[in-house]
Amino acid sequence: MDRNDARTFVMGDIHGAYKALVQCLAKSQFNYERDTLIQLGDITDGQDEVFECVEELLKIKNLIAIKGNHDVWFKSFIDRGQHARSWNFGGIATLRSYLRHMQPNGIYTEEREGYSTSLRATSIPYAHAQLFQRQKLYYIDAKDRLFIHAGYDRGMDFYGQPEDNYYFDRSLWMDTLWAQKGEGRGMPHWSKEPFDEIFIGHTSTTKWGVDQPMTAFNITNVDTGAGHKGRLTIMDVDSKEYWQSSPIPVLYH
């Protein structure tokens, strides 16, 4: 493919790792004006450069942002002034990031069930809030490829599921791994899978001891552990060529 042609990329969970984000975009020679990036969610919570990550993503003309569960928790703060998980599960890093940029003299204190902070929801820049507002539950392209944060319950109609299935339910990926081994529920129904290909995040491949993308049947998992001790990955969805950041402990130590 000529490098002048527009390309489409998918990127896994970022988790505030701005250094990893810019590495991936540079290594893949991503064109901010011409190429498309489908980001699979969980921009927030992990490293304390969420603000920088959002700023970088907003530079991308053709960005398709998918909703991750950590993003949903942050959006609850933007909408209601109260974080859905009291800034736990990595949320304290998101809090520190926005305090540093928007309220440098702001404070937070640890409490029994979370954190209390002087950060105001109204301090979140409008463009940032709009990015989280625009995040999609899933995206299906013209080639019948599904891009989704977590997955869905294969025992239910895809379009009629509870919203949080799309950004929480790990059963699609776990069942697929079992089915690939010839075990587990759902194996006889695999031919009924409604999508040509599926790209997911949410469940880090580091759980299986690897920091590269994993593929089982027609499902590719590109969460390679940027929220843990792995790497961030960006993949060309057509060629399946991928590029990765340095390990997160190397970038943030």
pTM: 0.94
Residue 41: what residue type? G
208 vs 16: CA distance, rounded Å: 23
Residue 23: CB partners within 8 Å, gap ≥ 6? 232, 245, 246, 251
3 domain residue, yes or no: no
Residue 159: CB partners within 8 Å, gap ≥ 6? none
Q: How far is residue 74 from each of residues 84, 91, 160, 204, 210, measured CA to CA in Å?
A: 7, 8, 25, 20, 29
Secondary structure of residue 110 in the 3-state scheme: strand
Which residues span the domain enclosing 217? Answer: 8-251
2 domain residue, yes or no: no
Q: What are phi and psi of 126, to 5 degrees?
A: -55, -45
Task: Residue 25: give its domain's CATH number.
Answer: 3.60.21.10
170 domain residue, yes or no: yes
Q: Could you list the pLDDT tens digit for every one of the 253 residues in the chain?
A: 456 799 999 999 999 999 999 999 999 999 999 999 999 999 999 999 999 999 999 999 999 999 999 999 999 999 999 999 999 999 999 999 999 999 999 999 999 888 989 999 999 999 999 999 999 999 999 999 999 999 999 888 899 899 999 999 999 999 889 888 776 554 444 444 579 999 999 999 999 999 999 999 999 999 999 999 999 999 999 999 999 999 999 999 8
Secondary structure of residue 242 in the 3-state scheme: strand
Tally of domains in the chain: 1
1 domain residue, yes or no: no
Q: Which of 38, 69, 42 is nearest to 164 (CA)?
A: 69
Q: Which of 93, 96, 95, 89 is nearest to 68 (CA)?
A: 89
168 domain residue, yes or no: yes
Give the rounded distance of the alpha carbon of 230 from its chain centre: 14
47 domain residue, yes or no: yes
